[in-house]
Amino acid sequence: MLQLLHTPDGVRDYYGNECAARQAVCRQIKKTFSLYGFQEIQTPVFEYFDIFNAERGSVASRNMYKLFDRDGETLVLRPDFTPAIARCAAKYFGQQSMPVRLCYLGNTYVNTAGYRGQLRESTQAGVELVGDGSVAANAEILSLVISMLQAAGLTRFQIEVGDVRFFNSLMEEAGLPEEARRELRGYIENKNHFAIEELLSGYPLSEKLSRILSRLPQLFGDPAAILTEVRTMTESPASLHALDRLERLIRYMDHYGQSQFISFDLGMLGQQDYYTGMIFKAYTYGTGEHIVTGGRYDGLMKQFGKDAPSVGFGCNIDALMQAISRQNLPQETLPETDLVIFGRDRAAEAVAKARELRAKERPAILMPEEGREADLTSTLKAGAACLQSSEDGKEPEESIKEYCLENHIGVIWHFPAESSEVYQEEACHE
């Protein structure tokens, strides 16, 4: 018995209606990107390791898929789009002073631990706005995220927004060593209150500074309430500057009429080290992880030779489709298709019919009778192409019935052999 081959852990196949639904959502996303003036760019699936090394602040080296070329150079399958887009922007738009708007749709490859149940090959769609460091650019990106999710069919979602400059300013004031900063960053991101208090107790910090650092995991919710509370907790000019930008951001979102989708989370710090300002994640029902993540990375472009502020995001298409499915939202399916079945001596007529249907943008499948006479006899009896029980109560051949169901056959055209007749019948799926 032939043994079927399976995919490795962390990757999967998409076909039929599921694949059609994904493609439809991706088309809507790309259309939305275009409406905001972003131009599509395609980068290689594998690049030199240096593009994603530790200094870039991308995925950890141990989580990358590495390979070697004939010259012994270390290559990696693309784990993250942002450094790749940054490389392209510096190479092709290095001398351009006006902002550059780029968008992408493709796959990333991250060798995550198998027990986490995450896909190691995932599809991402996103944008990068290079050369604009304004709050208005931040708002434009958030507005695009909202419009994109709405175009995909979602109505219930929330975007949590933070600013890593707020945390960084507190760290400068605290003077903690780098190792302690990284440790504290992880505790805050995971909202581990007890570990935060234990770590801070080991350093001579002022009561006011210890209190705000301990409160960071809880500083999330309504933007106005968060800004009001936090302004009473710090006098640091850098911290207040970060809060000022967040306040201006929410005013911009009011202009867009989209502020209801925004909440603030000052304890959000992100996993990528290249973020330098605003950072955000989008959540919805039906999935246990965020569906969009993004932020500002004003220092990354300089590493590739173009000193330009930048902001962008990536949308996890796999998580988005899971949410759409679990929320029972309408999804596009395979298009209704005509099935044209013909006998050996009726090929010319059948081909002409298929061409006629396709010219009208009606999908058509050509299927010769030859070798399938036994299957077709009970289904296509004197033109009775309807896939229901026949008058004598017998079911049609399951293979034909299943074929029509799986391929969304709407109409069957039958050009029987040794005949001049043409039978047309709707393929009922009852």
**Could you tell me which residue, 415 or 289, shows the higher pLDDT?**
415
CATH number for the 16-326 domain, one of 3.40.718.10, 3.30.200.20, 3.30.930.10, 3.30.70.100? 3.30.930.10
Q: What is the pLDDT of residues 19-40, one digit of tens each?
A: 999 999 999 999 999 999 999 9
pLDDT reading at 290 higher than 60? yes
Question: Which ranges in the chain are annotated with CATH 3.30.930.10?
Answer: 16-326
Task: Please tell me which residue, 108 or 389, carries the higher pLDDT value.
Answer: 108
Q: Strands, DSSP E only, in 289-329?
A: 292-296, 310-316
CA distance 155 to 258: 12
pLDDT confidence of 61, banded at 50, 70, 90? confident
Predicted confidence at residue 385, as pLDDT, reads: 44
Spatial CA neighbour of 413 closest among 359, 349, 322: 349
Both tokens of 383, joined, read 């033109």
Crossing angle between the packed helical segments 135-151 and 237-256, to the nearest 10 degrees: 40
Helix, strand and coil content of the chain, in percent to the nearest 5, comes to 45, 20, 35
Q: How far apart are CA 77 and CA 51, in angstroms?
A: 11
Q: Which two tokens stand for residue 162?
A: 């933070």
Q: Decide: pTM greater than 0.85.
A: yes
Chain position carrying tokens 């043409």: 422
Nearest 10 degrees: CA dihedral of 254, 234, 300, 34?
-10
Residues 77-125 pLDDT 10s: 999 998 999 999 999 998 888 999 999 999 999 998 755 667 899 999 9
DSSP secondary structure of 5-23: P-PPTT-----HHHHHHHH
Rounded CA separation 201/180 (Å): 12
Report the SS3 class of residue 108: strand
pLDDT at 387: 43
Q: Do the Cβ atoms of 194 and 214 come closer than 8 Å?
A: no
At 294-312, the pLDDT tens digits run 999 998 888 888 899 999 9
How many Å apart are CA 86 and CA 97, to the nearest integer? 15
User: In what order do the strands lie in the sheet containing 423-426?
Assistant: 364-368, 337-342, 409-415, 423-426
**Contact between residue 163 and residue 227 where contact means Cβ atoms under 8 Å apart:** no
